[in-house]
Structure 1
Amino acid sequence: DIIFRFKERRDGKGSWQWSEFPSKVAVQLNDTHPTLAIPELMRLLMDEEGLGWDEAWDVTTRTIAYTNHTVLPEALEKWSLEVMRKLLPRHIEIIEEIDKRFVAMVHSTRPDLESKLPGLCILDTSNPQKSVVRMANLCVVTAHTVNGVAQLHSDILKAELFVDYVSIWPTKFQNKTNGITPRRWLRYCSPELSSIITKWLKTDGWVTNLDLLTKLREFADNEDLQAEWASAKMANKKRLAHYILQVTGLSIDPNSLFDIQVKRIHEYKRQLMNILGAIYRYKKLKEMSPDERAKTTPRTIMIGGKAFATYTNAKRIVKLVNDVGAVVNTDPAVNNYLKVVFVPNYNVSVAEMLIPGSELSQHISTAGMEASGTSNMKFALNGCLIIGTLDGANVEIREEIGKENFFLFGAEADEVPKLRKDRENGLFKPDPRFEEAKQFIRSGAFGTYDYNPLLDSLEGNTGYGRGDYFLVGHDFPSYMDAQAKVDEAYKDQKKWLKMSILSTAGSGKFSSDRTIAQYAKEIWNIEDCIVP
């Protein structure tokens, strides 16, 4: 279709020049899933349009760009060479030629990298029975530009994952921090808060120019704005409480702190840390006297997301959240101070209900493993405070909204490799609170299900499925300390509301309008087409 439209638009203007194709067409590969676009474009140009290799390669490499969305292996796809050869023999011929020419280029121009070619080349034939095509390598070799989706993520790509490619093509790599649309994620899903913002800014221009939100900083201490802000947040919390009652049958108190973590269930996103923290909180509440409980900050913890069908530990985490909720929510001594809810069937429509009603959101992935995240941006835009690690876009959110308005904890990305090595060497000493939470699960407090296979992932120093690869144990004490700071901050509602307003005020950078404008200018080389 792309080639057809290019040729159609040239009809009547003389014969088309294929050298013009990249100035009319940009193909952005989102992760490695669409990588076959590379050999397919080459095939069409050579086999259908009659171009030679060099001309087709020039057109293809100036047309294709590649966005890497994660450093996790599941998105750095490796496809079976045998299967591809059977299904797509011509495409494999083209891929083999791209690989051959890349290897020759390295031999002739970068002999210092020859020892690293086994990891750089596109075809991995080290195991003849399981030869694969490394799709990420094909993307990097072909694309004129490669970008990550948050500054930390892009830095990791350049310093670690693609470091040798950077030495070959130092100008090929960029950063394009993700963004979200304020039309959906504030104006549509939180009309009350949107009206207040428009009133105080005296314009609704922020809907298309999100940087205007910075002007809210001037009014962050204003008691009238704080009162209106609190009213809008409470309206959203009541709406969310009604929704939770509808879908779960559970009544939650809008006057409690609404603490929400909603995202794909994955061990690196550490929903397990969240529920272990909830378990420890529950145990401590049980041990308190009624007077002591009355002094605590009531909290409703909501967790939602979907687990991949064959991801057993993710499924176990979902079950654990439900089992903990079943006990906590029916405990009359505690359930005025703590509720635990698993939000069913999480999707975008549910997010439109949850995000405006949130007050604290957990973005607690192991540092260096979350490429960006966008739900963190959605929550921050809605005046929700974040507890999180220095991972993904959290780093930039914290810079924009102010470090004092972000509840930070955990190891930093450059510390993670050494911490894993220390664990292997038996140097990790667990925090007593961490051990207490795990033991409480093992005691049968939350039912008879055998959670040992899940908890075993946190035990030992090495071995498949063991050794706490995602550093839950290491980060747990600082996580609990940060949660204690949340409890104290929430007691001072004037301070909390100011922090909430400043969170929204600092979210202008995270508009998808800014992101797309950067792609257009710095990768696709296209200019604005102003509507008259």
Structure 2
Amino acid sequence: MFNHENLKKRIDLYAMTTFGGEFKQLLDSEKYVVLSKAMMENIVPYWNDSRKETEGMKKAYYLSSEYLLGRFLTNNLIAMDTKDDVKRMLEEMGVDYNEIEESEEDPALGNGGLGRLAACFLDSAATLGYPMDGYGIRYDFGLFKQKIVDGEQVEVADNWTKYGDPWGIRKVSEIVRVTFKGSEIYAVPYDYAVIGYGKKLINTLRLWKAESLEEFDFRAFNDQKYDQAVKAKNDAENIAKVLYPNDSYEEGKKLRLKQQYFFVSASLQDMIRKFKKKDIGLEKFPQFHSIQLNDTHPAVAIPELMRLLTRKEGLGWDEAWAITTATFAYTNHTLLAEALEQWPERYYQELIPQVYDVITKINSMLLEDLRKKGIHDHDLSRYEIIHNGNIRMAWMSIYGSKSINGVARLHTDLLINKELNYWYKLYPEKFNNKTNGITQRRWLLQSNPELSELVTELLGSEEWITDLKKLKDLGKYTNDDEVMERFLDIKGTKKQQLAEYIKQEEGEDIDPDSLFDIQIKRLHEYKRQLLNAFHILYLYYEIKENPEKNTVPRTFIFGAKAAPGYVRAKAIIKFINDIAGLVKNDPLMKGRLKIVFVQNYRVSYAEKLFPAADLSEQISTAGKEASGTGNMKFMLNGAPTIGTYDGANIEIVEEAGEENNYIFGLRVEDIEEIKDTYNPEAIYQNNPKLRRVMDTLIDGTFEDQDGAYRELHNSLLYGAHWHRADNYFILKDFDEYRKTQEKVDIDYRDRLGWARKCWLNMSNSGKFSSDRTIEQYAQDIWNIDKI
């Protein structure tokens, strides 16, 4: 039971002992730390009870290089069912909870969908009562904080712990050592509580911080060699300094490999150490552990577990391999060849030769197995883990795992029937699909309380919070005009809130009555933000030529970070911002078109963007987006999708109806049919409106000081040495995309008709809960039980 007085006393005590002042007098960021510390006193006893309750049970362990968690405070208060009580208590103290909430920095531990999926999975497992712990890296600065300066992305350090880290518990007693060639470092665990909704179960996310065995070389300092005195410390800490360090050069690539091995080795050592305390024999390790590899970043876990079992624990090779292959499962997140991770052999030889030796032995064993299966020698090269001087981590993951899953039905079909078909023929029993999902606790209950209240009222219970399929029952209100009006009022409220936030953060005025057309995701060419940008320019020129043309006012909102070394992606960001400036400075566009590129897109910003969207942009090249989860968040908040027949879009329109969404463009089979004869230059020459839009890249409409726009233009028409012309079929899909957008324009004018499309998307989104996904993993792959 919530006790106001006890919490107030703890708050006053922490305010004094942490910041030396009264709570009301502190900065909002300091109040956040104090309130969070006070709440941890409530959480830790439940957390310890959960550890005891799951002792002796088989657990799942999620290995992921990133976790895009979002803010802790509100999420944890909702899970503990104390948010309303805490808000009331703070009001009595004359303190605004919302200001404290906004002061919390997003933990800089992830980048895009991969990391956010990991966070949703942790939430779902704890809510459902499945014992599942996560392992990763406690980055000092994460990816980066993005600023837009003169239209260009500028990366600055994202010091997410600058006000403290009240949710992380440093476990010095459980430090492990990780060995690289010529050096050894500490992996220091920080534990974070993963609180299931309603406190059903609290699991643990353990993040490793890299620290030096030797903090300071006093002799070097005394000899006035000041840099040398802290070199070991700096070298160690660099490993966990940032997420995905720029790997344009070799040193960056090596640092990435060191990161991967660092957290994988620490995590496996941690698991083995804890398991050995049971004193029941390592051969039973798979009976208590199921380890999920979140893509290939942690794939080095397979040879590392073999090394630990054989060289540290003294098991025989065959026994260790049986344990390893019964323990690991691998999630494939991409069909892009460049994302199927490979490492030069020499990196392993230089950095972790003890693991390289194991990999060579695994590779030899694989080739021997293949020969036994009747694979001819001349075909062995396609399967080799070590091939042409590179180590293929996806191949390692397939061979060393009991399960390989894709993350949407189309994605898995493409893996089975095309990209990995020759592996599938060897191990058909390993392959399966697990369509991704999102947690409704974060993406509806927390981010859209207004719509959540309406849903609860209409359903007559809160069961949907843990069983999203209940939303199906909302379908009966589709033709209830009063309910549709209430839904539109809520959407209007969320749009107004977003407009105020964008004014505060970006200094831009946007019209809440305009159509909010939103594309928020990582910046990559296959996601085709460029197609969206071309369409906006097309609309601009159409209005210039036909000022009397009646179009629905639109606000186009982009949010995306480009990898620091991804030059072309950065050029696209600049191009979008140049278009925004062109439109903003043209009086004819006032009240008709507006473009905003929000800075530093992150979970807390997303929580405001998804509920306010009128239209969800999911326009990737068919066959390139493995699943997508942003598409599900838009759907859950009642926004139709304009998108290609790709990833989970296919399953979304199956659930909600294609008539309630806007599907366009080439499908996978169409691309397969035309790819060898495709001539984008002919489309360019024969489509003057597209040509006018494209030529803004080279005709002086926008300044192109470094030639990046011309390179972008040429890549579409002529390709580059590493890819064909218009590699992602932007020109081919342009006309159909703009025509589909014209249909959106017409449909949006029918206010209630549009509301029904939105409602049918939301009420049919139950399939896309990460609760459903986790149930499938738990039953089909991990074989774990609920508490």
TM-score of the two chains, using structure 2 as the length reference: 0.64
Aligned to 1:220: 478
Quote how far apart the aligned CAs of 1:498 are. 0.3
Quote how far apart the aligned CAs of 1:442 are. 3.7
Q: Distance in 2 between the 1:259 and 1:144 partners?
A: 42
Aligned to 2:32: none
Aligned to 1:309: 564
Aligned to 2:749: 491
In the alignment, residue 186 of structure 1 is paired with which amino acid?
Answer: L
In the alignment, residue 352 of structure 1 is paired with which amino acid?
Answer: E
Quote how far apart the aligned CAs of 1:425 are. 9.9
2:343 pairs with one of 64, 79, 102: 79
- What CA deviation, in whole Å up to 9, does each residue of 1:458-501 have, x standing for no partner? 11377545510000000101101110010001011111000000
Distance 1:469 1:62, change over 3 A: same
Q: 2:590 matched to 1:321?
A: no
2:497 pairs with one of 227, 239, 251: 239
Q: 2:774 matched to 1:519?
A: no
- What CA deviation, in whole Å up to 9, does each residue of 1:262-311 have, x standing for no partner? 1111110000000000000011011113xx24x21110001110011111
Q: Distance in 2 between the 1:457 and 1:144 partners?
A: 41
In the alignment, residue 690 of structure 2 is paired with which amino acid?
Answer: F
After TM superposition, the structure 1 = structure 2 runs for residues 16-415 of structure 1, keeping only pairs within 5 Å, are 16-111=280-375, 113-125=376-388, 131-289=389-547, 292-293=548-549, 295-415=550-670
Distance 1:442 1:85, change over 3 A: closer
1:500 pairs with one of 751, 754, 758: 758
In the alignment, residue 439 of structure 1 is paired with which amino acid?
Answer: D
Aligned to 2:690: 434
Quote how far apart the aligned CAs of 1:72 are. 1.7
Decide whether the 8 Å contact of 2:704 with 2:710 is kept in 1: no
Quote how far apart the aligned CAs of 1:48 are. 1.7
Q: Distance in 2 between the 1:166 and 1:223 partners?
A: 51
Decide whether the 8 Å contact of 1:424 with 1:461 is kept in 2: no
In the alignment, residue 479 of structure 1 is paired with which amino acid?
Answer: Y
In the alignment, residue 323 of structure 2 is paired with which amino acid?
Answer: V
Distance 1:491 1:62, change over 3 A: same
Unaligned runs of 5+ in 2: 1-269
Q: Distance in 2 between the 1:448 and 1:175 partners?
A: 45
- What CA deviation, in whole Å up to 9, does each residue of 1:314-366 have, x standing for no partner? 11110011111111022111121110111111111110111111110111000
Q: What secondary structure sits across from 2:676 in the alignment?
A: helix
In the alignment, residue 6 of structure 1 is paired with which amino acid?
Answer: F
Q: Distance in 2 between the 1:366 and 1:170 partners?
A: 28
Q: Distance in 1 between the 2:697 and 2:299 partners?
A: 45
Q: Distance in 1 between the 2:350 and 2:725 partners?
A: 40
Aligned to 1:476: 734
Decide whether the 8 Å contact of 1:366 with 1:471 is kept in 2: yes
Q: Distance in 1 between the 2:724 and 2:423 partners?
A: 33
In the alignment, residue 391 of structure 1 is paired with which amino acid?
Answer: D
Decide whether the 8 Å contact of 2:552 with 2:592 is kept in 1: yes
Aligned to 1:6: 275
Higher relative contact order, chain-length normalized (CA < 8 Å, sep 6+) = 1
Distance 1:160 1:56, change over 3 A: same
Decide whether the 8 Å contact of 2:680 with 2:731 is kept in 1: no
Decide whether the 8 Å contact of 1:389 with 1:412 is kept in 2: yes
In the alignment, residue 641 of structure 2 is paired with which amino acid?
Answer: I
Quote how far apart the aligned CAs of 1:371 are. 0.6
Quote how far apart the aligned CAs of 1:60 are. 0.3
Q: CA RMSD in A?
A: 1.6
Distance 1:463 1:87, change over 3 A: closer
Number of residue-to-residue matches in the alignment:
515
